[in-house]
Amino acid sequence: MDDVRTIPRSRPQAPLYIREIETPLGAMIAGATPTDLVLLEFVGRPIMDAQIARLEKHLGCAHQAGESPIFGQLATQLDEYFAGQRRDFDIPMRAPGTEFQELVWTALQRIPCGATRSYGALAVSIGRPTAVRALAHANRDNRISILIPCHRVIGSDGTLTGYGGGLWRKQKLLDLEAGVGRLL
């Protein structure tokens, strides 16, 4: 994916709308401003409250139930993705974090759909070959699951390692992207 969007640095914006979206792999919590997707996580992730609190701090606003124009676009594109009809997303998104986190999250978007990278290879790709542990931590802190594809990062021996949504979901996402099946 050569046209990876730069993740803009945070700037105050309000409001932050939160809504649940159903997927074939379970419910997800989506968060969006009127113009950008800022959160997409599977329900039940232990660090969800901390993720939302960090977003509120980065964006300078409190979350609330409500609708963003982004949610309709997200639901459509997720349906296409799970049906095996979409490999890339073009939803406007913003993932505020530290400079290092944003570097990692941009690198994740460069992993092509259907491919995987080890944590070590990803660290080398960002010019930080000794920062594997820090990279793994930034990967864990990614707040926009699937669209910023942290599920495409695997262990150096090819095994599935850590995924906030559960390893079974990670395997399903990788199988879907490899063309093994559809989820819709």
Instruction: Verify whether residue 150 is a known catalytic residue.
Output: yes
Contacts of 65 (CB under 8 A, 6+ apart): 17, 18, 19
Q: What are phi and psi of 104, to 5 degrees?
A: -65, -45
**Integer Cα distance of 65 and 25 in angstroms:** 23
Alpha-carbon span 182 to 83, nearest angstrom: 5
The number of CA neighbours under 13 Å toward the Cβ of 183 is 21
Decide: 5 and 152 in contact? Cβ < 8 Å: no
* 120 touches 132 (CB < 8 A): yes
Helices and strands in the chain, H and E counts: 6, 6
Dist CA 111 CA 4 (whole Å): 10
**Three-state SS for 148?**
coil
Q: From the candidates 29, 40, 122, 150, which is the catalytic residue? A: 150
By annotation, the residues acting in catalysis are 150
